[in-house]
Amino acid sequence: MSINIPVSGQSNEIYSLSVNGQVHQVKDAWIGESLLYVLRERLGLPGSKGACEQGECGSCTVIVDSKAVCSCLVMAADAVNTEILTVEGLGPNGALTDVQSAFLSEGGVQCGFCTPGFIVAVHHLLESNPSPTDDEIREALSGNICRCTGYGRILEAVRTVADQRRTNS
């Protein structure tokens, strides 16, 4: 099986990506486009951000087949046959998730550029580790850089969600 992607320019070749439960067609793409680029510039999903293009900041974090990865390092055409989840797909029908609410209530958002990557990474962390220690939180989020907050309020936001989920369960 193969997909033909042009070097650049016009082509009739199409490939599909499944993002947030919806199938999107991608056409006229250049083979070197990362998943981050395709999400942002072709699929109308600019929530994931690019701050380094080399996997050193985590702003582009998305979930691919249940793994939190840097979408800038995924070749978009290689992501066919996967299930992709972005920040836009986390909350049901525009409602805030508990993680998103906690980032707001605990002051974990300043410029907001790192925020979508963090939100996705935190959701992913709490799914596999519902009661993380502070050190586990720090390590799990060590691939997400924030330049504004110094991480203090973000740590508090994650603790808040973990506590809430424990109380509600």
Partner 1 sequence: MSTTSASTALRHGTLGTSASRPDGVAKVQGGFAFSSDMWADNMLWGATLRSPHPYARIVAIDVSGAYAIDGVVTVVTAVDVPGKLTYGLIVQDQPVFAAIGDTVRYSGEPIAAVAADHPETCQRALAAIKVTYEVLTPVTDPEDCIAGVAEQIHPDGNIFRHQRIVSGDTSVVGAVQVEGEYEIGMQDQAFLGLESALAIPDSNGAGLEMYVATQWLHEDRKQIADCLNIPEENIRLVLGGVGGAFGAREDISLQVHTALLAMKAGRPVRISYGREESFYGHVHRHPAKIWMKHHGDLNGKIVKIESRMVFDGGAYCSTSPAVLINGITHTQGPYKCDNAIVDGWAVRTNNPPCGAMRGFGVVQACFAHESQMEKLAAAVGVSPVEIRLLNAMETGDRMITGQIMDSVAPVAQCIRETDAIPMPAPLENNADLRTIPGGTGLTAQPSNIRRGVGWGVSIKNLMYSEGFDDFSTARCRISNGVVTIKFATSEVGQGFTMLAQQIARTVLGVDEVILDTIDTQVGSAGSTSASRQTWMSGGAVQVACQAALAQLFDHVATKFEMTRSELEIDGTDIVDRLTQRRVTVSEAISEIEIDCTEEYHHPPTDDLDENGQGNCHVAYAFVAHRAVVDVDPELGLIKVVQIATAQDVGRVLNPLAAMGQIEGGIAQGLGLAVMEEIIVKDGKVRNPSFTDYLLPTFLDSPTVEMVFIEEHEPKSPLGAKGIGEPPCISVTPAIANAIRQAVGRELPRVPIRPYDICL
Partner 2 sequence: MPVLIPRSVDELVDIFQEHPAAKLLAGGTDYMVEVNLHGRKPETMISLRQVKELSEWSVRSTQRSITIGAGLPYADMEHGEIARLVPALAQAARTVGSPQIRAAGTLGGNLGTCSPAGDSLPVLAALNATIHVIGPDGNRDVEFSDFMIGVKKNSLRPAEFVHSVSMPIVDGWQGYAKVGTRNAMVISTASACLVRDSDEGIVSIALGSVGPTVIRCHGAETWLMKTMSLRAESTLDPVVAQEFGQRVAQESRPIDDHRSTAEYRRHAVGVLAQRLLLRSFS
- φ/ψ of 35, rounded to 5, equals -60, -35
**Nearer to partner 2 (CB atom), residue 63 or residue 162:** 63
**54 contacts partner 1 (rule: CB under 8 A):** yes
Residues facing residue 75 across a β-bridge: 34
Tokens of 107: 């002051």
Beta carbon of residue 67, minimum distance to partner 1 (angstroms, whole number): 19
143 near partner 2 (CB under 8 A): yes
Closest distance of CB 158 from partner 2, Å = 14
Measured distance CA(137)–CA(129) in Å, rounded? 9
Q: Does 112 bind partner 1 (CB under 8 A)?
A: yes
Tokens representing 122?
């935190």
List the single partner that 87 binds among partner 1, partner 2, none, CB under 5 to 8 Å by kind.
partner 1
Name 30's Cβ contacts closer than 8 Å, sequence gap at least 6. 5, 6, 7, 8
Binding mask 137-156 for partner 1 (x = CB under 8 A): xxx-xxxxxxxxxxxxxxx-
Q: Does 139 bind partner 2 (CB under 8 A)?
A: yes
Query: Which residues are registered as beta bridge partners of 83?
Result: 18
Chain residues 21-60 in contact with partner 2, contact rule CB under 8 A: 31-32, 34, 53-56, 58
Tokens of 149: 């907050």
Q: How far apart are the first and last CA of the chain?
A: 46
The SS3 assignment for 63 reads: strand
Helix (H) or strand (E) holding 70: strand 67-70
Q: Which residue from 10, 12, 21, 67 is in contact with partner 2, where contact means CB under 8 A? A: 67
Site residues, partner 1 (CB under 8 A) = 8-9, 30, 32, 40-41, 45-54, 56-57, 59, 86-88, 91, 94, 96, 100-101, 103-104, 106-107, 109-116, 119, 135, 137-139, 141-155
